[in-house]
Amino acid sequence: MTNLSVNINKVATLRNARGENRPCVEQVAVDCEAFGAQGITVHPRPDGRHIRHDDVFRLRTLVKTEFNIEGYPSPDFIDMVLKARPEQVTLVPDSPQQVTSNVGWDVALNVDFLTSVVECFKGVGIRTSIFVNPEADVIKMAARTGADRVELYTKPYADMYASDPEAAVAPYVEASKIAHGCGLGVNAGHDLSLENLEFFHSRVPYLNEVSIGHALICDALYLGLQETIRRYRGCLMKR
């Protein structure tokens, strides 16, 4: 069973464009769950351009499935996560200037730092995932930090999918096997869509969760949120 976590950052981006509360981020999260999402993901950034810290605390009281908070583990991020106590935190190596997460951690270079952060979160019962490229050495090093899972960065797969799907997915198949062998759960995310998700899911073993935001919200503009979530869930029910 592979769970679908819906990233609602883009909903907050639209809300922030007018400075009011439409669309309502909290209501969208509740509706996503009602429509079949098995988790809600948010990624609060230092500039508050989409999800903000106050959103995190309001959502924490409403989300009934799995609440996943992504972000760079700065002191203020760590403090927020410890107060919100989500089910999962995903550590990403983003700088404040990045538009989106576009590379995984150099875990070897940051192993002591990541180990200390993982210990902090696991000490209070928060599952911890590290955002990585699908590379064997990186995944093995991630296991040394004590993390529970890795999240595989899937944009390279999405970029190659149309021209050579088998070649595109091959590194992720191997990466997932290696992660599983190291005792890590496997998440995946970035540019997964209705066009490429079913194939990815059919090939990659041990896949616990996918986190999808931008493509899903774009599809919802045409299909409606309920139908969009139904279709994404459908992609994860086939092997």
Which among 179, 183, 210, 214 has a CA at the least distance from the CA of 197?
Answer: 210
Rounded to whole angstroms, how far apart are CA atoms 157 and 136?
16
Tell me phi and psi for residue 221, to 5 degrees.
-60, -30
Could you give the residue numbers annotated as active site? 43, 70, 190
| Three-state DSSP state, 39 | strand
Within the chain, where are the H helices? 9-16, 25-34, 53-60, 75-84, 111-122, 136-144, 155-161, 165-181, 197-203, 214-223, 225-235
Instruction: Report the b/e string of 97-119 with b at 16+ CB within 10 A.
Output: eeeebeebbebeebeeebeebbe
Is the separation of the CB atoms in 147 and 179 below 8 Å?
no
Residue 156 has pLDDT above 90, yes or no: yes
The residues pairing with 237 across neighbouring beta strands, listed in sequence order, are none
132, two tokens: 């990585």
Name residues whose C-beta falls within 8 Å of residue 86's C-beta, 6 or more positions apart in sequence. 60, 66, 67, 68, 69, 126
Over range 156-161, report the average pLDDT. 98
Per-residue confidence at 46, pLDDT binned at 50, 70, 90? confident
Given this model, what pLDDT does residue 197 score? 98
Over range 138-165, report the average pLDDT. 98
pTM of the prediction?
A: 0.95
pLDDT in tens, 86-121: 999 999 997 655 555 567 899 999 999 999 999 999
Residue 67 has pLDDT above 70, yes or no: yes
The residues pairing with 152 across neighbouring beta strands, listed in sequence order, are 132, 188
pLDDT in tens, 163-219: 999 999 999 999 999 999 999 999 999 999 999 999 999 999 999 999 999 999 999
